[in-house]
Structure 1
C-alpha cells in the first residue's frame, strides 16, 4: 500500500508504477483505492463510473478496469458537498447523508470489494488518500490504515521532497500513528527529488534511528506525465506558447481536465478576461456544478469576454458541462444541482434539463464534419435538445453553430486527427504528441524501479 504524508505526494503515480512493475513480472495485479475524491472520472466497459487514477492504474496492471478497484468516488459539488458514486453509480441517499454518518454505510462495500480483489489476484497495490496522520478522521477512516489492517498490507509512506520539509513530514506522520498502525509501515519513499541522492546523508539513517523504518527509495522528479487525479496541478502548468494559445476556463468545479493534456504547451488556464486576450481558441471544460460555475463565469467577466470572442470568430468548444453553458437554458427540476433554472450563454441553440439518473457509457460515433471516427465516454445528468439554430452533427453527441461547437464526448482532443483539425481552425500547429500511455507507464516503471530497493519492496509481498 502506498500512503502519503500529504495530498499530491505522488501516490497515484507510484501506485501505477508498482502495478506495471508487477505486471511485467507476470504477476496478476489489481489496483485499489477505497475512496477517491475527484471530479476526474471515467467509465468502465460496463458503463460504470470510477476515478481516472484507477483507470490508469488498471491499464498499468494490464487488466480490465473494474469498479471494485475504486468502490467509492466522491465528486465535489461545493466546498461542503459531494456526490457519492458507489460501485459506479451515483447514490442520492448516500449523497444526502452527513460526512461521518455515511462512513458506516460505505465500509461494508469497501471491505467486500477489497476482499474480492485479494481473492482473485496475485497481488493488490493499494493507494491511500490524503494522509494517515489526520487523526481527526481516524474514527471514520475507510481509506488509509483501516484498509491496511483489513488487507494486512505492507505500507510505504511517500513524501514530496520537492516541497521541502520531507523528513519532518515523515517523522511527524510516524508519530501520529498508533503502535498497531506503525506495525504496517515498512518503508519511507522520498518522491520527486532533484539533485544528487548522496547529499541526503545522514538524514535517511537518522530517520531510521528515530523510527526503525528504512528509506527504501529516492524517486527523482520525472517529466513523464500521467492523467491527473484532480485539479491541483492546474496552477503548475503555465502555457509556454509564443505564437498563440488555447484558453481553458479555470472553472471552480472543473472536471475531467486530463483530456486536454494533448494540447501540451498550447494550453493556458484562464480566470479573468485579461488572461483571455490573444487566445486563438477557447474551451469550456466539464463541470461538476454547471449552474454554479456558469455564475462564476459571469461574475469573473469571462462570460462576456468569451461571448465577444466567439462573435468575432474565435473557435469555441464546450465539453459536457461546458456544452450546457453554451446553450440557451439549463433546467434542474429534480434538484440534481439544487434545483432552479438558469440562462446559458446562448451561443448554441440548445436547452438542457438535468435528469435524476446519470448517463455513464463508452461512446463511438462518426463526425460528419471531419469524417473521423471518434471514441470516448460520457458522464452527465443533462439531457440536451437542439433548436433550429444549431446543427446537430451527431444526435445527442455533437453540435455546431458556425465557429462554436459543443459535445458530450469526453476525450475528443485525445484523437490526434481531431486535435489537428481543431487547432487548424485556430491557426495553430499541433504540439509534439505525447508517447502512448502504455509507453509512458513502461518508462515510469523503469525509472521508479531503478530508484527503489526493489528486492526489499518486492519482498514485502
Structure 2
C-alpha cells in the first residue's frame, strides 16, 4: 500500500497544528483505516520514550506519541525522526531516530537540516508503505522564507509525498485571513497548489459574521475554507509549545479544594505530563513564576528541566527558591520530578559539561552527578509506604518513563544530625525527606496513572481514549461535508 498523506500546516506556532493532526488521526482511525502520524522535525522539550529498531529505547516528541495512540498505532521513532531539545536560546540537543547525536548537535542549523533529509524521506516512505493514511504535521509556518531553502519539515515534505495540505490559523489572535493569505502568497506556485483547504481555529462568536471573508479569500487563492473550529479550552490534549494561563484548567472558575503551583522555569520539560491535573474538578493548576503564586498554593511541583542548573539560577533570581523552602517548612506538599528532584537536593555536580554545577535547595540530602550518557527507558513502580501527607500513594502502581542525565544518590553525611532522616524509598527512583512533605522522583508520567489520580484526589481524569473519541466526532462537526456525504473525504 502507498498511503495518502494529509498534512497540517500552520500560519504560526501555536495555531493548533498538533491537536488538529491528532484529531484527524483519531477520525481516520474511526473509519477503519490504518493510520500513522509523522513530523519530520520537532523542536520541543516534551518527549516520550519509544522502542528503537535495534531494541534500545529512544525519544520522540510527545505530540507524535499521542498522535500515534490516537491513530491506534504503536509509537515509532520513524514518526518523528528528528527531535530538537532546546538547552539555551541558541543551542539544542539533537535527537536522531531516538538517540542523541552529538555531531549533529554541533552543526549549524542549515547544514544539519540538509544532511538529515535523506533519512527523513526514508522514514516517511516506510510509513507510507505500511499505512492507508499518514497524517503529517508541519512546524511553525511553511512561509518562513529565511529558512525555505533548508526546509525539511514543511513544504519539502509536502512535495516529496504530494501531500494534501490544510493550512490552520488561530483566529482568536486576530488577523487570521491576512495570515492565511500572506502564508499562501509567499509560497512558490507549485507549493501553493498543494494547499487544499484553510482552517480557522479557536473561533469564538457568531460564525455568520465571518462572511464574506471566506469566499473573498477563496476568490483570491482558489482555496476554500473547509473548517471553522470553535475554541476548545478543554480538548484534553497538552499544549505543546509552552505554558498557558489557567483557562485550560477545569478547576478554573470552580470551587477549588486544591491549588497546585507548577514552577514554569524557562527550560521546563515534559510539562505535558500534568494534563490530567488540568481536567480534575476542584483542582486549579497555576503555571508559576512568582513567589506570591507559591504562597497561595497547596502544592508546589518542580517539573523536569532541560537545563537544571540554569533553571535553578532563574528560580533564585525570582526569589522562588526561598518561597519553595518556606512552603515545605510550613508542611505543605512539594514534589520534584526529574530535574525538579535534582533541584531539591544539596548539590549538582557536572564533570562532563552536560548541565552545570550548582548548590541545590537543600530540601533532600541528595547529590546528583550528571553522566555523559542519558538514561532513557520506560519504568513501572509500585509505590512503597509513604508518610503523610503522601500516604495515599502507598501501594499504587505507576507506569511512566525516565529521561535524564543525572544520577542521584542519598548522602548519609548530609543528614547525620537529623532526628528524622530522609528515606530512599525506591533505589535511584523515589525519595521522601526528613520533612515528609517533600518527595522527589525520576518517574515522568506519574499523574497519567488512574490509580495515582484516584488515590490523591478521589476522582478520575478523562482517559486518552475518551479524548480521542471526542476529537474524532469533532472532525465530523467542524469540517464541511458535501450534500449527502457521510464522512470527510481524503481531501
Q: TM-score range by the shorter chain?
A: over 0.9
C-alpha distance in 1 between matches for 2:334 and 2:431? 12
The count of residues paired between Structure 1 and Structure 2 equals: 452
The answer as to 2:233 corresponding to 1:233 is: no
8 Å CA contact 1:315–1:404 kept in 2: the answer is yes
- After superposing the two structures, state which structure 1 stretch, 98-107 or 294-303, moved more: 98-107
Q: Secondary structure at the match of 2:201?
A: strand
Residues 291-310 of structure 1: pairs in structure 2 closer than 5 A = 291-310=309-328
Residues 233-382 of structure 1: pairs in structure 2 closer than 5 A = 233-234=244-245, 237=248, 240=253, 242-264=256-278, 265-337=283-355, 340-369=356-385, 370-382=394-406
Q: Which 4+ residue blocks in structure 1 deviate beyond 6 angstroms?
A: none
Q: Secondary structure at the match of 2:398?
A: strand
Q: Secondary structure at the match of 1:317?
A: strand
Structure 2: stretches of 5+ with no match in the other structure? 1-6, 386-393, 416-421
8 Å CA contact 1:77–1:289 kept in 2: the answer is yes
Residues 125-144 of structure 1: pairs in structure 2 closer than 5 A = 125-144=135-154
C-alpha distance in 2 between matches for 1:226 and 1:7? 16
C-alpha distance in 2 between matches for 1:123 and 1:179? 25
C-alpha distance in 1 between matches for 2:243 and 2:225? 27
Match of 2:474 among 437, 447, 451: 447
Q: What is the match of residue 396 of structure 1?
A: 428
The CA deviation string for residues 117-170 of structure 1, in whole angstroms up to 9 with x for no partner, is: 111111111000000111011011010000000111011111111111111111
Match of 1:411 among 445, 460, 481: 445
Q: Secondary structure at the match of 2:134?
A: strand
The CA deviation string for residues 292-322 of structure 1, in whole angstroms up to 9 with x for no partner, is: 0010111110001111221221111000000
The CA deviation string for residues 419-451 of structure 1, in whole angstroms up to 9 with x for no partner, is: 3555xxxxxx56x54311111111111112221
Change (3 A) 1:452 1:5: same
The CA deviation string for residues 376-424 of structure 1, in whole angstroms up to 9 with x for no partner, is: 01111111111234311111111111221000101112224433555xx
The answer as to 2:201 corresponding to 1:185 is: no
- After superposing the two structures, state which structure 1 stretch, 129-138 or 272-281, moved more: 272-281
Cα distance, 1:460 vs structure 2: 3.9
Q: What is the match of residue 126 of structure 2?
A: 116
The answer as to 2:470 corresponding to 1:436 is: no
- After superposing the two structures, state which structure 1 stretch, 259-268 or 14-23, moved more: 259-268
Q: Secondary structure at the match of 1:135?
A: coil
8 Å CA contact 1:5–1:169 kept in 2: the answer is yes
Q: Secondary structure at the match of 1:49?
A: strand
Q: What is the match of residue 391 of structure 2?
A: none
Residues 214-225 of structure 1: pairs in structure 2 closer than 5 A = 214-222=224-232, 223-225=234-236
C-alpha distance in 1 between matches for 2:449 and 2:68? 21
The CA deviation string for residues 168-223 of structure 1, in whole angstroms up to 9 with x for no partner, is: 11111111110111111111111121233222111111001111111111112223
- After superposing the two structures, state which structure 1 stretch, 447-456 or 137-146, moved more: 447-456
The answer as to 2:408 corresponding to 1:384 is: yes
Q: Secondary structure at the match of 2:357?
A: strand
8 Å CA contact 1:366–1:374 kept in 2: the answer is yes
Structure 1: stretches of 5+ with no match in the other structure? 423-428
8 Å CA contact 1:161–1:192 kept in 2: the answer is yes
Match of 2:101 among 88, 91, 108: 91
C-alpha distance in 1 between matches for 2:16 and 2:130? 27
C-alpha distance in 2 between matches for 1:236 and 1:79? 28
C-alpha distance in 2 between matches for 1:121 and 1:33? 15
- After superposing the two structures, state which structure 1 stretch, 249-258 or 261-270, moved more: 261-270
C-alpha distance in 1 between matches for 2:490 and 2:288? 45
C-alpha distance in 1 between matches for 2:267 and 2:223? 39
Q: Secondary structure at the match of 1:132?
A: coil
8 Å CA contact 1:53–1:228 kept in 2: the answer is no
8 Å CA contact 1:56–1:227 kept in 2: the answer is no
8 Å CA contact 1:39–1:255 kept in 2: the answer is yes
Q: Secondary structure at the match of 1:55?
A: helix
Q: What is the match of residue 45 of structure 2?
A: 39
Q: What is the match of residue 23 of structure 2?
A: 17
The CA deviation string for residues 241-293 of structure 1, in whole angstroms up to 9 with x for no partner, is: 64451111111111111211222242112111122113211110000000000
* TM-score, normalising length: structure 2: 0.88
Change (3 A) 1:452 1:349: same
C-alpha distance in 1 between matches for 2:455 and 2:472? 34
8 Å CA contact 2:15–2:168 kept in 1: the answer is yes
Q: Secondary structure at the match of 1:108?
A: helix
RMSD of the alignment, in Å? 1.8
